[in-house]
Structure 1
Amino acid sequence: MSDNRHSIGSLLGAAAARAVPVVRGVDERQLGGATPCSGYDVGELLNHFFDVVVNFTELAHKRPSAFAEKPDYLGTGDWRERFADEADRLVAAWSAPGAEEGTTGHADQPARVVGRMVLLDLTVHAWDLARATGQEFTPDPDAVDELAGVIADMAPAARDAGMFDEPVRPGPDDTRFEKLLAATGRDPHWA
């Protein structure tokens, strides 16, 4: 483990434990509904969420990702349980010895930075889906602490890459998590 008291694997484990029930709670009739994640309806966001989990598992193993491919993860079988299985694989991969060490990805970024990216996606997209489908969601406090400490560093590059929209001004009474959502370009009070 590097500079923080929590490993990426343990943070992802807690985040996945909160994200998987949200995915399981999505009703097929909600797949065309709007989400707070601009450019995605519920079905498209679920497909993207799957893609993130699958590809960041590869990055934990220091293998190339396949983000350019856009498979339809919802097209066959029980996608809810497949998502749960893929989330377990993600957590196991980032919990393996050496996963946070060295570099990974096409840009050879520090592995812990890449791990934080998937932690952000796992936390924020679970919130997106929960909001879009009328479910309750409370993020893992340790994940919020980890992400609140790095979101300012991550946001400019994420905006340049088109992954974040322009930041939303948070309200004076917003929580740390709501401020984090606002930094990603989301309205933390979206309904």
Structure 2
Amino acid sequence: MIGQAEAWRMGADTWTALTGAMGDDHWDKPSTCDEWTVRELVDHTLYWQGMAGRLLSAGTQKGDDWNTLHSAISAALDDPACLEGNDERFSDMPRHRVFGLMLTDLLVHSWDLATSIGAEIALPEEAAEAAMFGLQRMPVEMLRSPNMFGPEVEVAADASAQNKLIGFVGRQP
């Protein structure tokens, strides 16, 4: 299985391709996330990827654009030590677990964005597997708490890693 750094980079490439394909007419469309437009979905994703940058001490600032976040986080991930230790901002959770949630956020919202704008989406299988590996090691009560993930949607045992991830977080693949 690939590591979180490589999985994040794969997810970031997917996000970059999707946002690059967006037209002006996409921004105000409803998204797959209840009560959010596509613009709000993108803003949410940028906010949490900015948090990922701060988690990794990548020098990111609130309000940074995607290209800035992408470059800074990629550079920070070149040093495996950036994922070591615990983070007091997240109840002293291990930094690699917090980053795993941010990886999941990037992948799932890439799927949400593609679905919302009618684009084809194929999350990198290895990245989806890495995200699932991390999620399966998190407390279920935390994952299913308000503002996290909905109830799991069952998928076939032989479903793709993408569909397993999407179903796990409560979306219908």
TM-score relative to the length of structure 1:
0.78
Instruction: Choose the corresponding residue for 1:185, options 162, 170, 173.
Output: 170
Matched, 1:132 2:128: no
C-alpha distance in 2, partners of 1:23/1:167? Answer: 27
Structure 2 segments unaligned to the other structure (5+ residues): none
Q: Could you tell me which amino acid in structure 1 is paired with residue 127 of structure 2?
A: A
Equivalent of residue 75 in structure 2, options 86, 92, 96: 92
Residue matched to 1:174 = 159
Cα offset, 1:20, TM superposition: 0.7
Partners of 1:47 and 1:109 in 2: CA distance: 25
Aligned counterparts of 1:21 and 1:118: Cα–Cα separation in 2: 19
| Count of aligned pairs between the two proteins | 170
1:9/1:92 contact within 8 Å kept: no
Distance apart, 1:161 and its partner CA: 4.0
**Closer, same or farther: CA 105–132 of 1 in aligned 2, 3 Å:** farther
- Supply the RMSD in Å over aligned alpha carbons: 2.4
CA deviation vs aligned residue, 1:47-76 (integer Å, no higher than 9, x gap): 00110111110011299x97xxxx6x7xxx
Deviations 1:12-33 (A, max 9, x none): 1121111111111222211221
Q: Give the partner amino acid of 2:42.
A: L
Q: 1:97 to 1:179 in 2, by over 3 A?
A: closer
Structure 1, unaligned runs of 5 or more: 74-81
Shift of 1:38: 2.8
Please give the TM-score of this superposition, normalised by the length of structure 2: 0.85
Q: Does 2:85 correspond to 1:102? A: yes
Give matches, 1:114-133, under 5 Å.
114-133=98-117
**Cα distance in structure 1, aligned partners of 2:58 and 2:144:** 25
2:24 corresponding residue in structure 1: 28
Q: Which one-letter code corresponds to 2:4 in the other structure?
A: I
Which residue number in structure 1 is paired with residue 55 of structure 2? 59
Does structure 2 conserve the Cα–Cα contact (< 8 Å) formed by 1:167 and 1:183?
yes
Report the alpha carbon displacement of residue 10 of structure 1 after superposing the two structures with TM: 2.0
Q: Secondary structure at the match of 2:70?
A: helix
Residue in structure 2 matching 1:159, options 138, 144, 158: 144
| Distance in 2 between residues matched to 1:41 and 1:94, nearest whole Å | 31
1:147 correspondence with 2:143: no
